[in-house]
Homo-oligomer: A and B are copies of this chain.
Amino acid sequence: MQSVAATREANAGNGLTERQGVVLEEALRLLVDGGEKALTTAGVARAANCSKESLYKWFGDRDGLLSAMIGFQASKVRTQDVAASALDAESLSRHLVVFAKDLLEVLSGDVSLALNRLAIGQASREGSKLGHMLQERGRRQIGRRAAALLEAGRKAGLLAFDDADEAYGALYGLVVSDWHLKMLLGEEAGEMKKGFGRKAEQAVSAFLTLYGKKV
């Protein structure tokens, strides 16, 4: 995720130069370390060894910088699709557990938490532009991966549901419960991560109880 290759790809996808990518990386680090309050234009310029003038030239204003940060980070996250072939009950369960663990890992990541906090903090005013962006470019991605997995399960006769969104909502809720909110509120994520594996398996087991086709 943090590799130079991923960064370069993200730049290309957003029409950013490499230098600008480095600056955004540094801005994200500042945001993760100190929250929105630490994300000042002067601070970013100092940390990235660039001038404030360049920041305004590249990103317009502070909000433009925030948007660029979200877009930049989102374009670094690539979700590989699962081969829809050869699904049996056991492999479906395994895929679901992997998905659940990935979901928990993503949601508990430093940068994800920081960006969500940022967007939530700005949600009151300004029509929640950042919130929509985060929703669209972040959650939609992982939602599509889940939808594909669920659809494959149904096609293979292993899952039974009418509304895919409803089924996904149940899966998401069983996996995440209120952990995301707790982490957003500042609960130490370090100690929670140990329980992710067990939590993911329990959630998938419950999900299959609800939506798995009886055998």
Contact = CB atoms under 8 A, between A and B. Distances in A.
A117 B128 contact: no
Contact of A128 (B120, B121, B135, B186): B186
- Count the copies: 2
A37 B124 CA distance: 9
Chain A, interface size: which category?
35 or more
A119 B174 contact: no
A104 interface: no
A83 interface: no
A64 interface: no
Interface of A: 34-38, 114, 116-117, 119-125, 127-128, 131-132, 134-135, 139, 166, 169-170, 172-178, 180-182, 184-187, 202-203, 206, 209-210
6 contacts: A120-B185, A170-B177, A173-B174, A173-B203, A176-B178, A180-B181
